Structure 1
Amino acid sequence: MAASASFAERFKSRAVATLWRILSGWQPASLWRLARLVGPLIQHVSQRERRVTRINLGQAYPELDESARRQRSRDSLVHSSATMLELGFAWLGDARRVSDSIQEVHGRELLDDARDRGQGVIVLAPHFGNWEVLNFWLSSHFPFTAMYEPPKLAALDPIIRRGRERQGARLVPTNPRGVAALLKALKRTEAVGILPDQEPGWGSGVFAPFFGRQAYTATLLPKLVARTEARVVTGVARRLPGRGFAIHFLAADERVYDSNEATSAAGVNASVEAAIALDPAQYQWEYKRYRKTPEEAEQRPDWKRFRLYR
């Protein structure tokens, strides 16, 4: 059985890597056309993604009627398909072509001004648009450090790592050693990236509202801010269907600077909401953002640690 599983993993890794290499030569316009073909298929056959997307959209936009919610769900799965198809382009495509695909950059002054004042910059990079293109741009223009967790298919790790590091980004592990590296980078007035919308393990977060519902949210940010006085911005690469991408940097909600972890987490989630408002269909709604619940936390012996922000 183990040998069969190992063979299956090798086969899947090889197939994925081959697909990335093939698609790395495609232009964003062609990848978008392919996504428009693939997205409806995912909508049809992937019940889990369709169900979670609709539930999350219903939570975030209760004012939408059923028809509008279904349309946004379809649009969202097309954009998610595009993101997956664009990975080879972002990691393996000709660097000049990737750079040329970035048509617009908004809010760069937020990063430049902070660094001119001797402050590091923490970039909150939610799962919106194509975050790998955002990594490409950031590491092309600033000393940039980000946390990295190897993929489940270990054979893909060298490809992903080289792709993310090829413009100079430094990847650090998701452990205390990685946190120490982020702190050092910020003290050198560099930029670091963290994922604000990935659910942390128990003990590494607090509950804070996200689109009106309590979501378990990481508390790494206030620790970094308290020790470095860094500025915080939200960064996304918004897809311009058929043309390329627009980079957006938005000033974070002021609550992110609060020393109270729950208050800061509420500011993080509000910052993510503001980025999503640029184009709600480009957010990865199929991610189960509300898996951990306050009710589940209360069943744990140390539940008081998992406090709420109201």
Structure 2
Amino acid sequence: MAKRNKPIHTLQAQAIAALWHALAGRRLTTLWRLARWTGPLVHRFSQREREVTEINLAQVYPDLDPAARRRLARESLTHSAATMLELGLAWMAEPARVEAAIVEVHGRELLDEVRAEGRGVIVLAPHFGNWEVLNFWLSSHFPFTAMYEPPKLHRLDPVIRRGRERMGASLVPTNPRGVAALLKALKRSEAIGILPDQEPSWGSGVFAPFFGRPAYTATLLPKLVARTEARVVTGVARRLPGQGFALHFLPADERVYSPDETESATGVNASVEAAIALDPAQYQWEYKRYRKVVQKLEGHPEHESFRIY
């Protein structure tokens, strides 16, 4: 069966890569128009994305009017569609075009000050706006290392890896060898990137509040801080629809520096919340952020209120 599926996967990868190549030359106004057409279709016909997005929004914004939450869900899926359509730009367009699309940079001094002190800087990069544009800018301006896990469609791996590394980023695996590489980069006073809003595997995280509800959160950050005295900032590339991107670098919540893993994870989630507040529609709400709470409480009917998926 695996051999039979091989040609199909190859064709899928080739078609996706060809689409990215075709879109790489399009204007941002065109890409945004396509997203505004695609997003509502995803909301209407993709039950999984619609339901998870609407459930998450009901959890984090319980006081928001239901009609307003539905509008926010549609807007969020439109921004997610825009991110997918912009991957060709971030990975394949002429670097000068991508640089020109970054029309604002706020808080760069946070990065410069830390590096001037001879410390490494950890950039928390949540799934907000277009994080691939953020990667492009960071790896263009600083020695930059980030963890990388190959996509499920393995034949896209060389395309994605080439796109992410083209400005000098160093990609390391999501295993102990990768963690060692992150530590070395920080000790060289370089920048590294961490995705703070992906659920880690069991044993690699703790439950910490995210918008007031427990979410399983990675504990890699306090380990890196304790061994390197690095400083932490949150970084996002906020989309300015049809115009470009505004980069925002924000001071991380001070709790991220706590040696207590739960306290540090609470600070990480608070930092993500602060970034989301810039424009909640640009966050990727279709990710099951509270999934492990459901797994943990399965078989415990007294906790039925936590069963959100």
Q: Tell me which interval the TM-score lies in, with the shorter structure as reference length.
A: over 0.9
> Where does residue 137 of structure 2 map in the other structure?
137
> Where does residue 239 of structure 2 map in the other structure?
239
Query: Equivalent pairs: percent with the same residue?
Result: 73
Q: Distance in 2 between matches of 1:115 and 1:247?
A: 19
After TM superposition, the structure 1 = structure 2 runs for residues 13-52 of structure 1, keeping only pairs within 5 Å, are 13-52=13-52
1:163 corresponds to 2:178: no
Deviation at 1:4, TM superposition (A): 2.5
Deviation at 1:45, TM superposition (A): 0.5
> Where does residue 2 of structure 1 map in the other structure?
2
Q: Distance in 2 between matches of 1:298 and 1:52?
A: 18
Q: 4+ residue runs of structure 1 moved beyond 2 angstroms? A: 1-4
Q: Distance in 2 between matches of 1:129 and 1:2?
A: 36
> Where does residue 308 of structure 1 map in the other structure?
none
Deviation at 1:295, TM superposition (A): 6.9
SS at match of 1:292: helix
1:89 corresponds to 2:89: yes
CA RMSD of superposed structures (Å)? 1.2
After TM superposition, the structure 1 = structure 2 runs for residues 81-230 of structure 1, keeping only pairs within 5 Å, are 81-230=81-230
Ranges in structure 2 where 5+ consecutive residues have no aligned partner: 300-309
Q: Distance in 2 between matches of 1:116 and 1:278?
A: 28
Q: Distance in 1 between matches of 2:296 and 2:143?
A: 40
Q: Distance in 2 between matches of 1:195 and 1:148?
A: 10
Contact 1:17–1:156 at 8 Å: present in 2 too? yes
1:226-249 per-residue CA deviation (whole Å, 9 max, x = no partner) reads 000000000000000010000000
Q: Distance in 1 between matches of 2:141 and 2:135?
A: 10
SS at match of 2:88: helix
SS at match of 1:209: strand
Q: Distance in 2 between matches of 1:29 and 1:251?
A: 31
1:203-235 per-residue CA deviation (whole Å, 9 max, x = no partner) reads 000000001110000000000000000000000
Number of residues of Structure 1 aligned to a counterpart in Structure 2? 299
Q: Distance in 2 between matches of 1:295 and 1:79?
A: 29
Ranges in structure 1 where 5+ consecutive residues have no aligned partner: 300-310
> Where does residue 304 of structure 2 map in the other structure?
none
1:10-57 per-residue CA deviation (whole Å, 9 max, x = no partner) reads 111111011011011112221111100001110110011000000101
SS at match of 2:292: coil
SS at match of 1:246: strand
Q: Distance in 2 between matches of 1:209 and 1:84?
A: 29
Moved more, 94-103 or 20-29: 20-29
SS at match of 1:119: coil
Contact 1:32–1:242 at 8 Å: present in 2 too? yes
Contact 1:207–1:294 at 8 Å: present in 2 too? no
After TM superposition, the structure 1 = structure 2 runs for residues 229-308 of structure 1, keeping only pairs within 5 Å, are 229-293=229-293, 296=296
Q: Distance in 1 between matches of 2:298 and 2:11?
A: 43
Deviation at 1:2, TM superposition (A): 2.6
Q: Distance in 2 between matches of 1:55 and 1:120?
A: 38
SS at match of 2:97: helix
How does the TM-score come out when normalised to structure 2? 0.95
